[in-house]
Structure 1
Amino acid sequence: MRTATPPPPPAALTVPEVMTALRLSRSKVYDLLRTNQLKSFTAGCARRIPTEALRQYIDNQMGEAA
């Protein structure tokens, strides 16, 4: 019997995906992007947040909370 391997996580997330992951509003996510607390790039006219940037943001927040 063959088990299916799960797909790899996406390399970059959309703003709505980050909103869901962090349980934040759209305006708060854009505030984080505008203040460079969360790194991003544009692909055409679409904003994308690398999963590593999200991980770094969370790590930074955890470090500040300690």
Structure 2
Amino acid sequence: MKKIDSIKDELEYRAALIEASTFFENEPILGSQEAFRFESLLNSIEAYESKNYAIDPPNSGRITQ
């Protein structure tokens, strides 16, 4: 199984999500090629999301009116 270098667009992102979901349903054996692929997918998904779906940190927690 090949390592994913980076997700370049929304189509690749959605394909990575679909592929990763199969590993949630059938968790791979630690140290296997499937486990390496799963970890690689998750790292790539996380990097893509942090770049394209960034969430601003919460404010000071005070509620103002």
- TM-score where L is the length of structure 2: 0.30
- TM-score where L is the length of structure 1: 0.30
Q: Greater helix percent: which structure?
A: 2
Which structure carries more relative contact order (alpha carbon 8 Å, separation 6+)?
2
